[in-house]
Amino acid sequence: MTALTIPDPVDRDDLGAFTARIVRLDQVALVRLRAERRGEDGYVVAWAPTPFDALATRSVRGGIEPADTTVSASALLTALAVDRAATIDPGPALPANLADLPPEDGWAVVEDVPAAELDALAERGLAMARENAGPLGPPASLMDQTVLTVEGGAHDRVGGAAVKVPLRCLFALSGMGFLGAGAATDTVRVSATGSWLRLDARFGAVVRRRVTALPLIVP
């Protein structure tokens, strides 16, 4: 039996809102819950894929047993809504669906960008996607289009190149509700490693590989 402990009702509601957005995007999505220590505090870090080929993540204070557990997003959402106890059963553990997660360390902050600016870019991108949508949705070339390039002071620590933010990451931020309903002064923090990009907004973050992993070829 799995056990998810989140003592603070506000944190529990935050995780519930995150999970509800994941289910809205994909009713059969899975969520990977991982235990993490930050100083003396324990956290649960939730990871979930989005339809935009980017990961969404949210951290709340608490714990999860086993320490790395994947559950159905729908089951987790139901458990959070029905059982208001500090410790709940988030549903049966399932095989991990996210084998390739970004590293915990090695991130460099590149720049803080106004959330309103990214929201406007996402709206313009949505209009373009509607105009160019085919039977399978917007073309990959449009989704991969760079809509923002940042450098900041971390240029040498993220592979010596400017950090390019593709449209699909803004769609993921917008689709998860991370850009809306915040203060006008809200910013989105752009961080990167040599191979990963991360966008942290008020209500959660979106993470995506900057460099596609090459398959291992055995001769």
pLDDT in tens, 58-110: 999 999 999 999 999 999 999 999 998 999 999 999 988 777 899 988 999 99
Architecture of domain 108-209: Roll (3.10)
pLDDT in tens, 142-187: 899 999 999 866 545 555 568 999 999 999 999 999 987 666 789 9
- Of 185 and 12, the structure prediction assigns the larger pLDDT to 12
pLDDT at 219 over 60: no
Please count the CA atoms within 13 angstroms of the CA of 23 that sit on its side-chain side: 14
Q: Give mean pLDDT, residues 48-56.
A: 95
Residue 158 contacts residue 108 (beta carbons within 8 Å): yes
Give the pLDDT of residue 217: 41
Q: Where are the domains of the chain?
A: 3-88, 108-209
CA-angle at 106, arms to 100 and 110, nearest 5°: 105
Compute the residue count for the chain: 219
| Single-letter code of the amino acid located at 163 | V
CB neighbour burial string for 169-203, b if at least 16 within 10 angstroms, e if fewer:
bbbbbbbbbbbeebeeebbbebbbbeebbbbbbeb
Please indicate whether the domains covering 3-88 and 108-209 agree at the CATH topology level. yes
Distances (CA, A) of 105 to 38, 87, 164: 12, 29, 20
Give the pLDDT of residue 161: 65
Query: For the whole model, what pTM was predicted?
Result: 0.89
> Could you tell me the pLDDT band of residue 216, with boundaries at 50, 70 and 90?
very low
Q: What is the DSSP letter of 137?
A: B
| Mean pLDDT, the chain, integer | 88
Multiple choice CATH, 3-88, 3.60.90.10, 3.30.70.3450, 1.20.1250.20, 3.10.150.10: 3.10.150.10
Distance between CA atoms of residues 41 and 31, nearest Å: 22
pLDDT at 120 over 80: yes
